[in-house]
Structure formats: structure tokens, C-alpha cells
Structure 1
Amino acid sequence: MLPSRWWVWGVHGFRVLLFAATLLAIHFHSKTRSQFTEPTQLEVAPERLTQWFSDGVIGEYDAETGLFDVLDASGEVVGHVTMTSPQGDQSIGFSGPTNVLVALDRDLEIVGLDVLQSRDTREHVDVVLGSEEYWNQFLGTKWNDVAELPRVDAVSGATLTSYAIAEALFARAGGSAPRLKFDQSLGLDDVSELFPEAATLTAREDQSSRWDIRNDAGELIGEVVSTSRFAESVIGYQGPSQTLIALDPNGLVIRFVLHDSYDNEPYTSYLNDDWSFPELFSGMTLEQVSSYDLEAEGVEGVSGATWTSMAVARGIIETASQLERLKHESSVPSESRSEWGISARDLWTLGFLVVGTGLAFSPLRGNGWIRVVYQICLVVYLGFINGDLLSQAMLVGWVRHGLPGISAARLIVMAGIAFSVPILTKRNVYCSHLCAYGAIQQLVKNRLPWQISIKKGFRSWVRFLPGVLLAWVAIVTLFDWPFSLVDIEPFDAFVFQIAGTATIAVFVGGLIASLFVPMAYCRYGCPTGGLIEYFRRSRRSDRLGWGDLLSVAVFLFAVSLLISDG
């Protein structure tokens, strides 16, 4: 007698609810143990500090800014340090957050970065650590300008990890950056010297340091740009200056005026009283100003106020350079994205998900040529180019630390398809049509005349291997053991820049086995595929078995850990 429909759906509903409850228990347990904490004390090995500050020691902590003073032997402040935790802990890379040590000089300019601790996958973090180019792009940036960096280049092979580190830096700097040296608001009186006919002053939504100027008739008569946001690191005789640059409606510079300065009188008055210097860039676009060479043009500044005037000119050039960069590059630390946050890479992966899922339910899946062409494209693009595959290391990272941001949205969609479609339709679409490693095995299947048939008795044992590996994953996750889960699966081998020996061995061994035993790894070695199969509806899936017993045991243990947390 066949089981009733209610019983079948009841069993699957039980599995899904039990699994969801287990994930929640593990997540909340992991949060109490793995989140980094607010640094009221920061213990850093001396050799880490000496790479930036000779004989430096960490002094007092400022809770308002989140910075520690670094003192020399005489007790003088020579710099500052901080770390990205806890503000940056929500930035999840491949499988977890990374806590970064940030070293700043006395002017709050980044002079060094180092990883204090990471809960991301070891191989991905190691690749980022080894990329000098990645870390150098942050050096020289003012701490209160970090969150405004127009672009961050990721490390090939460790995209999610490198973006997450950048996002953690942005979160930390945005949450605790010191106040800017100059007032960021302007009134009509501040621009009346540049635009006597100004009736309204409207801040640009995209740039807080740019304002549109209109007359009584509502006509646009020009624009004002402030250098304060971009040129505070340009120092004159005693400090930085805030200059207002007037542009006409066509974007051409009219003149500039020194609005505020840390330099003192009479040097600042000399500059504003000079009849020619404020018109140095007159008639130029900001793009032309950004490439202006003061030395080559023979500019010597205002007599009696050389340092101040030359610093003002350099500040204007620096401001124009940064505005041009902002105009041409994206404003988020990720790939080039549309206004919805979708990159070309996202669209291609989503396209494969749609095509692969559609093909799985189409009569065309039986067409040999279409299947082979699609599988080759899947292996090349989703595998070797994108590296978009599901793995236990990634899934466990999501469970522990939460779902990542927009940079991994395509992987979240992929996981949703992988687990929901088999429950609703009985078809394991991911393993058969979306997994690049599964596609390789299909391509090499039955290519050799020597095929091995596994005897029934032995097959009944080896089919438990995915369940054994899942049990190991559960143990590592529950006890928070420092074992890299990427080592038990072949998927990181597609991103060969980061692949470890164990991953490559599984990749090669699985392919060799599949030459003689069709789909050997998928059938007898893949824990991710085994997990998907556990939820798939089939003729025998209504029967409770060892998988359900293991699920209950993991759930009870996860709950006990959560209760013990207090």
C-alpha cells in the first residue's frame, strides 16, 4: 500500500522544519562565539606595530572615534590604530567576516593594514594577504575618506573575501570617522562673492561638496565646488584650506576663493586680494584642471604667501582629480553594477540558472548536441571563469555569520534553486544542470571502454560516504573546529589561484573515478549533493532513515549548545 500524500508531505515538511531550526540554533550559537568584540583593549604583537611605528606602543582607547593612540618611547603620539570589528563583522566574504588591523599616522592617513583574525576560508584569506596591490590601494587614504573610495579592485580568485574586507573597512570608518576639519554646509552669503545674483543654493544629491546656483528666475547660473572633502591632506604653511571653486553652467571654471583655512593672516588675505591667482584655472573644465602641472606651467604662487597659495592650487587639482574619478568609476566596492546593484557577472550567472533550470524541464534535455554545448559553457563560465558553485564551506559560513550582501546575490539565488526545486518537483536540477563539476563528469562519462561496475554489496556501503562527510561537516561546525571544509570537496579547484592540495586531489581523483564509474563523485562522494538529495522527493523519500536520525541528533546537540550559551 502506497503512503498517503499527507504522509509524504508531512515527512518532507518535518525535514525542512528540523533543518531550518538546526540552522537557526547554529547561527545564534555561532554569533555568541565568533563575532569579534568592541576593542576596549587591543593586544598586538610588537613586530606588527614596528612595521609602521618604530618602538611604538598602544596607548589609550577613544570610544568616540574607535582609535587607539600609538606612543613612542617618550610618550608622544606618533599615530593611531584600530580594527574593523565589530562594525565590519556583518561583511561576510566566502564563508565569514575578517577583522583587519588599521594603522594611521598622526594625520589619520592609512599607512598599513593587517589581518588580525578571520573566520573566512583559509585559502581565500591567504590569497588576499599575498596581494600587495590589493592592500596598497587603501594606503594614503584619509580615515574619514575611506568610505568614499570610488572603487576597490578585488583579488582574482578571492572576490567575495576581498570585497568583504573592503566593506568592513568602510563600515568601520563610516561609523567612527572623526569630524571633517571644515563645515560642509554653505549658505548664500558664502557664495555671494562668486555669484552676486545667487538666489538659491541647492546641494547635489550625489556629491555633498557640490552645489547648484540659481537666480531669482530659477535659471541655473553656475555651480560651486568645495575642496574640503577632497583636499584636507594638502597642507600649506600651517594646515589645510577650504577653497570654493565657481563653475559656469557649461562646467568651465570661472575663479576660486579661499573660504576657510588653518593657515593664518596675513597669508590668506594676500591670496584673496591677488587679482590674478584666483583665476589661475579660468576657462578650464575639471578634467583639464585634474591634469594641470603647476611646475611645468611655471606657477610660483602669490608673493608673500607662496606656501598657502601653492597648497590651495594643489588642493584644487586634487579635488578635480577625485571628482573626475568619481564620475568615471562606480561608487561601491564591487564590480561595475547597475542602479539596482546587478553586475554583468550576476546577469550571466542568473542567465545560466534560468537556462539550466528551463532545460531540465524541457524535452531538449535529451538532445545530445544541445546538452554537450551547454555543459561545456557551464564548465568554462560558471566553473573556471566565475567559480560559482555551492560548497559546504560556503553554506556553513552563511549559517554561522548570516547571508552575504549583494556581491553574492547570484549564489544565494543558486542555493534557493538547488534546495527548493527538488522538494517541489522531485528533480535535482542543481547537480544535473547547474553544477560545473557535475557537468564535467557528464562530459567524461562512458568515454572509455573500460567501465567498472560496483557490486551491490559494496555499493550499499559507499553510498553512505556523502552522509559520513555531512556528519563531519556538522561536527566541525558545532564544535567550531579549525578545519577547512574546502578540503573535502573539489569546487575550489576551479579557482586554481587559491586551490589547496587536498582540493585539487579531490578534483582530479573524482574525475579519474568518473572515467570508470559514471558520475562517481556525484553518486558516492559529494556531501553537497547528498544534502540536496536528502530533501528531494522520490519514491523512497517518505521513509525515515539514518539521515533523519542524524538530523535529529545534530538538532538536539545544536540546541544544547545554544542553551549552554546562557
Structure 2
Amino acid sequence: MKNRTNKNFLTTLLSLVAVVLMLSAAAIVRDGRIFGFNLRDGGSAEHGRHGVQASSAAPTANNDTLTVMPDGAIVVNTRLLAKDVQGYGGQVPLRIHIDKSGVVDSIVAEPNAESPDFFNHASAILAQWQGKTVDEAAAMEVDGVTGATFSSRAIITNVQRGLAYAKQHAALGNAPDATGSVDVSGASASSGGFTLGGIVALIVVLMGAVVPLFVKNRRWHYVQLSLNVIVLGLWTGTFVSYTLLMRLFSGGVSLATLGTLAAPLLMVLVAMLYPLAGRPGHYCAHVCPFGSAQELAGKLTRRKPRLSPRLNRALNVFRNVLWGVLMVLMLTATWTAWMDYELFTAFLYTSASVWVIAIAVLFLVLSIWVPRPYCRFVCPTGSLLRS
């Protein structure tokens, strides 16, 4: 028995190592970074799916952070100022255009790896600073966008740091020699600080991670499932997905982002490390909000049609083939946008695609009769965690 246990542990450990290597390779291929370290030559290449170039007029003076235009306006690039600030997919650098009178003319996004739907939703807040003087804009308190929390909070911090830099180097027409160093103490609070939703989400994840280890109570299990759906899903949009995993492996975790990432990071640790302790599937059964929603939907009726062994095998083959195809697309960077359309994102209903929401609802309805159909026959994240 002991030899069998040791063999199972070794197999699980090797699977975990394979998962870590796979995600590391994908992060390097897609973003050229691993745990926040830029592996691309020069470290300044701009890659991503969003971005607007600054004015094409030739600058009179510039460095990596501040550009002075011929008409006396300045453009602040936050790439170096906020290199420790991460959205959901990575950095969200901005270009802040300030006219010669010191008024914010516009703020545009540099290329980034955020999910397009969520970033476009979050970037609506950029207009709030437009038309304000630098002092007025720097003093503003702007709230994050529900349904795009990571992206919007990172945007806010980028703007704060860019405006702080502009205030320190307000001598228009004379670009400083600095490469982005600026005292921005406290400016990262909106990105790295804990929020009420983040604290509650962390508590719910802790409950799902610990309580089932000691309490085998069906009623309590249903309470946990409900909290997962309401708090982790609908309120905070906290779940393990390929987008989150790639964000962690590409950008890493810093003190500035620890508050925002505390609950998601604990989820990832539960999903990846619990199998080593002989608890495979713990995350899926006790923490995952979409899995919880499917299980709760299944309690609406006891009449469950029995899937034939042939159909069950065919569905499992479909799941494995789908996962294999998606892994090839991810590891070759052929098409990584599929990560934005995992059904977990349906909880972010204010930003999610209509098709994602519709398919998620379809699976929830199907789960009334078929236990956890998405988890069992589709979920790419679940396939990764079980590989």
C-alpha cells in the first residue's frame, strides 16, 4: 500500500511539473516574460492586442518615459513607471497626453495582453481624467469598473503614476534624463490594496479549501457552493482560468498586486497542490464557481438520464482532443484569444461576450439533468489540472 501511495504521489508530482513547464513555455512564447522577468532583447518591445501610437510629430526632446512635442505638449509613457502593476493579463501601459497649458488632453492605451472585451469595458474610465489639469487629475479618486476589476485598477494606478511623474517634471520643453524613476509612494494602493470584495472572496476560498477537509456535511456543502457562485462568481469574478494562469506565470506576483491577487492565487495553489496531498479535484468540487453553479442546478431534479458507455467515451475523447488542440494553439501562440472565452467569464456579465453568456446558460440548463457537463466533457482548465 505504501509503495502504491508513493507511486501515486510521484505521478501527481510529475504531472504538476509538466503543467508548470507548459504554462511557463506558453508565457514565454506569448509575452516573452516569465514571472515578471522580460526575456526579450532590449526589454522594450511592445506586444499585445491593444494600443494607439502617440502623435507622429517629431519630438523636441524625449526619454523612455517623457516626450516633449514641438508645440510644448508632453506625453508620459507609464511602461517603466508602472512596470510592477499588473492587470489580468499583464501590464497595461498608457500614454498620457498633456497640452502646453498643463491640461490632460487624452490618455491612450499601449499594447497589452488584456482580454479585449474586459479591457475595452475598463478603459471607459480614461475619459474621466480628460480636460482636467494635472493637479486636478492627480487628486481625483476614480473607482474600478465592476466586471473588469483587474484591468481598471491597473489603469487607475498607471494614470496616477504618470500624473505624478508629470508633476515632478513639469518643465515643458525640457525632458529629464531619468528613465522613469519617480516617487510614487502610495500610488499603487488602488492596484495592490485589499478591497471588501477581495477580502470576502479570500475568506470564501479559505472556507472551500479548509472546511471540507474536516466537515462532511451536505447542508454545509450547499452553503459553500452558494457562496462560491454569489461571492466568487457574480460579485468578484474570481476563478481559475487559463487567462489567470498565464497572467501569474507571465507577470508574477509583487507586493503591489498581492492584495488584488490574494484570492485567485490561493485558488491556484489549491488546484495545483492539493492533488499532491491526495485530494485531486478538490478545487473543482469545493471552490470553482461555475462547477458550483452546475452542481446546484443539478439539485433541481432527481431524474437523471443515464449516458450510454459509448456516448460517455465519445464525450471524453472530444474533451481530450479539444484540450490538445487548444494547447497547440497556446504553445505556438497561433491563437491565444480562446482563453478569453472560457465559460467562467460569463460571471463577468457586464463585460462578457453574449455568446459566452448564452453557452454558459445552456450548460447550466443541461446540468439539471446531466451532472456537471461542462466540467466533465469540455473544461480546458480542468483538463490541465488533471493532466
Aligned position for 1:462: 315
Structure number with higher relative contact order (C-alpha < 8 Å, ≥ 6 residues apart): 2
Contact 2:76 2:166 in 1 (8 A): no
| Gapped regions of structure 2 (runs ≥ 5) | 33-38, 172-182
Q: How does 1:87-236 map to 2 (within 5 A)?
A: 87-129=81-123, 131=124, 133-137=125-129, 139-142=131-134, 149=139, 151-172=141-162, 178-179=168-169
SS in structure 2 at match of 1:68: strand
Q: Once the 2 structures are TM-superposed, how far is the Cα of residue 465 of structure 1 from its aligned partner?
A: 3.9
Could you tell me how far apart the structure 2 residues matched to 1:33 and 1:478 are? 17
Are the structure 2 counterparts of residues 468 and 169 from structure 1 closer, same or farther at C-alpha, using a change threshold of 3 Å?
A: farther
Q: Once the 2 structures are TM-superposed, how far is the Cα of residue 514 of structure 1 from its aligned partner?
A: 1.0
Contact 2:67 2:75 in 1 (8 A): yes
Could you tell me how far apart the structure 1 residues matched to 2:189 and 2:249 are? 24
1:373 aligns with 2:223: yes
Which amino acid letter does the alignment assign opposite residue 375 of structure 1? L
| CA displacement, residues 421-473 of structure 1 (integer Å, 9 cap, x when unaligned) | 12213242211111111111111215335522221122123124443343344
Aligned position for 1:452: 305
Which amino acid letter does the alignment assign opposite residue 13 of structure 2? G
Are the structure 2 counterparts of residues 179 and 81 from structure 1 closer, same or farther at C-alpha, using a change threshold of 3 Å?
A: closer
Aligned position for 2:36: none
Are the structure 2 counterparts of residues 28 and 100 from structure 1 closer, same or farther at C-alpha, using a change threshold of 3 Å?
A: same
Aligned position for 1:390: 240
Aligned position for 1:537: none
Q: Once the 2 structures are TM-superposed, how far is the Cα of residue 172 of structure 1 from its aligned partner?
A: 4.7
Contact 2:27 2:246 in 1 (8 A): no
Could you tell me how far apart the structure 2 residues matched to 1:479 and 1:162 are? 29
Q: Once the 2 structures are TM-superposed, how far is the Cα of residue 357 of structure 1 from its aligned partner?
A: 2.1
Could you tell me the percent identity over the aligned residues? 19
Which amino acid letter does the alignment assign opposite residue 60 of structure 1? P
Which amino acid letter does the alignment assign opposite residue 222 of structure 2? V
SS in structure 2 at match of 1:58: coil
Q: How does 1:378-527 map to 2 (within 5 A)?
A: 378-403=228-253, 405-406=257-258, 407-448=260-301, 450-527=303-380
Q: Once the 2 structures are TM-superposed, how far is the Cα of residue 331 of structure 1 from its aligned partner?
A: 6.0
SS in structure 2 at match of 1:529: helix
| CA displacement, residues 510-538 of structure 1 (integer Å, 9 cap, x when unaligned) | 1122122111111111111222223xxxx
SS in structure 1 at match of 2:147: coil
> Normalising by structure 2, what TM-score?
0.80
| Gapped regions of structure 1 (runs ≥ 5) | 50-56, 72-76, 182-207, 209-329, 535-566
Are the structure 2 counterparts of residues 342 and 116 from structure 1 closer, same or farther at C-alpha, using a change threshold of 3 Å?
A: closer
Two-structure CA RMSD over aligned residues (Å): 3.3
Contact 1:448 1:515 in 2 (8 A): yes
Are the structure 2 counterparts of residues 393 and 471 from structure 1 closer, same or farther at C-alpha, using a change threshold of 3 Å?
A: farther
| CA displacement, residues 272-291 of structure 1 (integer Å, 9 cap, x when unaligned) | xxxxxxxxxxxxxxxxxxxx
**Which structure shows the higher strand fraction?**
1
Could you tell me how far apart the structure 1 residues matched to 2:247 and 2:326 are? 12
| CA displacement, residues 285-338 of structure 1 (integer Å, 9 cap, x when unaligned) | xxxxxxxxxxxxxxxxxxxxxxxxxxxxxxxxxxxxxxxxxxxxx865428x9x
Q: How does 1:75-94 map to 2 (within 5 A)?
A: 77-94=71-88
Contact 2:243 2:340 in 1 (8 A): no
1:529 equivalent among 378, 382, 386? 382
Are the structure 2 counterparts of residues 420 and 2 from structure 1 closer, same or farther at C-alpha, using a change threshold of 3 Å?
A: closer
Q: Once the 2 structures are TM-superposed, how far is the Cα of residue 90 of structure 1 from its aligned partner?
A: 3.8
Could you tell me how far apart the structure 1 residues matched to 2:77 and 2:63 are? 14
**Which structure shows the higher helix fraction?**
2
Number of residues of Structure 1 aligned to a counterpart in Structure 2: 359
Contact 1:150 1:331 in 2 (8 A): no
Aligned position for 2:67: 68
Aligned position for 2:190: 334
1:344 equivalent among 196, 221, 233? 196
Aligned position for 2:16: 16
Contact 2:23 2:246 in 1 (8 A): no
Are the structure 2 counterparts of residues 454 and 91 from structure 1 closer, same or farther at C-alpha, using a change threshold of 3 Å?
A: same
Could you tell me how far apart the structure 2 residues matched to 1:521 and 1:495 are? 18
Contact 2:298 2:368 in 1 (8 A): yes
Could you tell me how far apart the structure 2 residues matched to 1:33 and 1:349 are? 35
Are the structure 2 counterparts of residues 403 and 502 from structure 1 closer, same or farther at C-alpha, using a change threshold of 3 Å?
A: farther
